[in-house]
Structures are given as C-alpha cells and as structure tokens.
Amino acid sequence: MDNVLIIGAGAAGSVVAKKCAMNRDVFKKIHLASRRLESCRRVQAAAKTPIDISQVDADNVAETVALIQKVKPDLVINMALPYQDLPIMDACLEAGVHYMDTANYEPREEAKFTYKWQWPYHDTYKAKGLMAVLGCGFDPGVTNIFCAYAQAKLYDEIHTIDIIDCNAGSHGKAFATNFNPEINLREVTQRGKYWKDGKWIEIDPLSISAMIDYPDVGPVKSYLIYHEEEESLVENIKGLKQIRFWMTFSDNYIKHLEVLSNVGMTRIDPVMYKGTPVIPMEFLKHLLPEPSSLAETYTGKTSIGVIFTGVKNGKKQRHIIWNVCDHAETFREVGAQAVSYTTGVPPVVGAMMMFKGHWKGQGVFNVEQLPPEPFLKELGPQGLPWHVRELKADEQGSLFAVKT
C-alpha cells in the first residue's frame, strides 16, 4: 500500500496533502481532488514534492467511483465536509478501496452529530474485505487514541474522561471561525450533552462552564458542549462513569454568536428572500473569512488533551495527556494555522498505520479500537508531540468541582 487519494482541499485537506508529500517513503503516489480545481492547484504548487490533482463532486457517487477507478488508490482520505461522508463511503464500497475520515456524518438539514449512519456500514465493509477508519482527526481522533493508551497503559479502569480543547491564539479578526464556519457554528449552537451513569444528559447551549488550566496556556474559561468522540468512547472505554467535552470561546466570540443567533443568522432551515429560498447559515458562511486566510497572521497556541480519573492496582489515579501546537510554527511549515494542522496531521499518521500494517481489519472502526502505541510513536515526529503526567491533588480543582 502506497497510493493515497485525498478528497477535499480546504484548510485541513491541504495540510494532509502537504504532509503526505513530505513522506514519500510511505506515500509513493498522492492524488488530491476537490470540487474546486483551483484549490487543488494552490496546494499542488505549495507541496514539497509533486502531487496529482483532479476535480470531483463528492456528493456524486458515480463521479467519485470513476475518479477512484482512475487513480486506483489503496486508501481514500475524506477531508470534505461531513455531509459527504456517506456518498464517499458508498463510492469506496463500490470501487473496493479502504476509507478514512476525520469527522462523522451529519445531514444538512439537522445539526445532529452521531455515528448512527456510519456504524451500520460495518457488515458491508467487512463482507468486501475493506477497512473504514472513522474520526481520525485530533478531536475526534488523537483524543480517542489518548483514551485507548490510557486504558491500555495507565489504568485498570477509567472512571471519568474530560476532553479539553483550547485555542489561545489570536487571528486579529472581529469574528471568524477556525474551521469551516457552517460546521463550526452548527457544532456550537446545538444543545450540549454529556454522558453520566449510563445515560445521556442534555443541557442548553453553553450553559455550563469551568476554568480549566491548559498546559502552556494557563486557566481559560471553557464551555461544556457535545462532541462526537463521546459517543464512540462510551462504547469502547470499559468501566466509564462519565465523559464530558470542554472547549474555549472568547467573550468576543460568544457576543457575536449570541447576536447572530438572535437575528436568525445561524438557522439551517431555508427562508424565502425575494422569492428565493436562502439558508441563513450558508449565507453567513460566505460573509466570514476563510479559515485558511487566518494562518499568516495567527499568533498563540492550541492546547488540547484529555484528563482522566480511574484506578490502577487498587489506587485512585488522575492523569492528563496533551499536545500543544503553535500557530506561527505550523504556518512556517505548511502555511496553515494550528487548528487546521492538528486536524490534518492525524489522518496522515493514520494512513501510515494502515500502509505499514499496524492498523488492519475488516469493517468500520473508530480509532480507539486500533493499536494506540504505533500511532503515538509516529505522531511526535510528524509535528504533534504529546505528553503525559500524573496530576497532583490540587490541580484542575475548578474542573473537578463542576457537578454534572
């Protein structure tokens, strides 16, 4: 296996292509495809080594199948929008090729993050001898693999998981999103949710917060939101009693989000404007800066990790596993800001795992179901060094004090 097809040439997809082009010992053939060929041309011009490009409408299964049959890849890395997950999975099935993505499917008409549409593909992929790897970004992705590592190496039983995600960077814009605006705003404005004692509990959006002390950043107010990796981790981490996901948003971001929501600009249902149906969220997306345009002047760091409590050899333990990524450093390397970089590097590492035979299987898998150690061994050299340490009794007191 040495031939990869990447679908999607946005901010994160461009990182995938450029990083593959830096690892030609593994990726002998690299093909990048997108709805906009001009986006592919820009990546092609910036890549360290030659890559091939094509135009494709990923919503069109037949068109994607034709491209796969032309390129003959061993693996398709889906870096398109989550709306395209199912058509691309269908195309991979028809063409007989392995599949990987970084975010789970959601329908355009409903902000609903769930694996209920993709997990049922397991039997059909297995029957064809194919492997589909879901959620191989950072969160979901690396955070899941941190959990798998903790389960294998640090704990006999994990009781609580808190996934913590901080972007402490500054892009200098009045309001912008760090990845696709439509997906980002749908994620934040949906109802929050967490899992405790065997059941899911819903809350109003951004109604629970805590001050979390992020490595290399410090204490930052963080909000409890729902994120898709919780759904799979509940199934795959044994003995779990609670899982929550926390993300930071600046006061300025919250202010703009409240105003946009109050005036209806975050709606995902069509409204009639001069006889034409318009979806406010899609229109807003066209008004906001492209995430890739933020990279050049971005300063600061991201700090993303997982905080665990559990038991080892009968004793209670607390650990944190994390990565810190610098916006300026990622721009110097691949011309991207750190949010795009942390999303784009993990699928490259995941593809390496498949090509080298460390990850193998037939059917549909979330990344925490696969061996974590070879992945983590490669993650640092590819630009995302990770760290683990035991927490002291007085650390993260504000987080642990939040009763949910």
Give per-residue pLDDT as tens, 357-402.
999 999 999 999 999 999 999 999 999 999 999 999 999 999 999 9
CA distance between the termini of the chain: 46
Arithmetic mean of pLDDT, 42-51 = 98
Identify the structural domains of the chain with CATH numbers, from first to last.
Answer: 3-138+340-379 (3.40.50.720), 142-337+384-401 (3.30.360.10)
Count Cβ neighbours within 10 Å for each residue of 269-295 and write b for 16 or more, e otherwise. Answer: eeeeeeeeeebbbeebbeebeebbebb
pLDDT(273) > 80 = yes
Instruction: Identify the band that residue 171 occupies on the pLDDT scale cut at 50, 70 and 90.
Output: confident
DSSP for 302-359, written as a single string: EEEEEEEEEEETTEEEEEEEEEEEEHHHHHHHHS--HHHHHHHHHHHHHHHHHHTTSS
In whole angstroms, what separates CA 228 from the centre of its chain? 9
Q: What percent of the chain has pLDDT over 90?
A: 79
Sequence-ordered list of residues with C-beta below 8 angstroms from that of 172, at least 6 positions apart, any chain:
297
Arithmetic mean of pLDDT, 110-129 = 92
Give the Å distances, CA to CA, from 47 to 16, 40, 372. Answer: 10, 10, 29
Extract the tokens encoding 144.
């899941």
- Highest mean predicted confidence (pLDDT) among 22-26, 173-177, 203-207, 268-272: 22-26
Helix or strand run (H / E) with residue 159: strand 157-167
pLDDT(272) > 80 = yes
Cβ 166 vs Cβ 212: under 8 Å: yes
Cα dihedral 80/83/86/92 (nearest 10): -20
